[in-house]
C-alpha cells in the first residue's frame, strides 16, 4: 500500500514574527502579510475618505475611518478550502470582468486609412418537409443492396 507524504509547498512560510511585546508573550502574533495588506487597505481608504472630505473628528468620522478597512482585511484574509485568501478570489473576479488586454495586430502593408466598414446582411431560408421520410446516403443504400444480394 503506497504511503502519501505531506507536502511542504503551501505550509512552509518563513517569516519572522513578533512573539512578545513588553515582555508579554503574544503567541503567534500577526503575520507580516496581514500587516502589509492592512496597511495598503488603510492608506487607500484614508485617501478615499479625504477625497470625500469626511471629517475624522465628526460624530461618525472615527467609525467611517476604522471599521470598513478592518472589515475588508478581516474578511479578505480568511482562507478558503484550498488555502487561498478570499482577496485573491475577489481579484480573480475583478480580472474576469475587466476587458481583455490583448492587442489587435494589424497588417502594416495594408492601407486601412481609406477603408470604410460595410454591413453585410445574409438572408437564410430553409424548407422543412415533415411528411417526407429521411433520405439515406447513397453509400448506405449500396451497402444495403450488397447485403440483400448476398
Instruction: Report domain extents, the chain.
Output: 20-97
- pLDDT tens readout for residues 102-148: 776 777 777 766 777 778 888 888 887 777 665 555 555 555 566 66
Whether the Cβ atoms of residue 62 and residue 54 lie closer than 8 Å to each other: no
Model confidence at 8: pLDDT above 60: no
Which parts of 22-148 are beta strand (E)?
A: 24-25
Cα separation of the two ends of the chain:
58
Burial class (CB in 10 A: 0-12, 13-18, 19+), 69: buried
Rg value, the chain, Cα: 33
pTM for this predicted structure: 0.49
Please state, in angstroms and rounded to a whole number, the distance separating the CA atoms of residues 31 and 9: 18
Give pLDDT, residue 80.
Answer: 85
Confidence of residue 74 (pLDDT cuts 50, 70, 90): very high
Whether the Cβ atoms of residue 64 and residue 54 lie closer than 8 Å to each other: yes
Residue 79, beta-bridge partner list: 85
Count of residues in the chain: 150
Average pLDDT over residues 67-87: 90
DSSP 128: -
Amino acid at each position: 500500500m503506497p504511503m502519501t507524504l505531506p507536502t511542504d509547498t503551501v505550509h512552509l512560510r518563513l517569516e519572522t514574527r513578533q512573539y512578545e511585546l513588553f515582555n508579554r508573550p503574544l503567541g503567534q502574533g500577526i503575520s507580516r502579510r496581514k500587516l502589509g495588506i492592512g496597511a495598503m487597505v488603510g492608506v487607500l481608504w484614508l485617501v478615499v475618505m479625504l477625497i470625500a472630505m469626511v471629517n475624522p473628528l465628526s460624530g461618525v468620522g472615527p467609525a467611517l475611518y476604522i471599521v470598513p478597512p478592518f472589515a475588508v482585511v478581516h474578511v479578505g484574509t480568511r482562507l478558503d478550502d484550498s488555502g487561498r485568501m478570499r482577496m485573491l478570489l475577489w481579484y480573480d473576479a475583478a480580472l474576469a470582468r475587466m476587458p481583455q488586454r490583448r492587442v489587435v495586430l494589424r497588417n502594416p502593408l495594408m492601407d486601412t486609412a481609406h477603408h470604410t466598414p460595410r454591413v453585410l446582411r445574409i438572408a437564410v431560408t430553409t424548407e422543412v418537409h415533415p411528411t417526407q421520410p429521411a433520405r439515406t446516403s447513397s453509400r448506405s443504400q449500396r451497402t444495403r443492396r450488397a447485403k440483400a444480394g448476398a
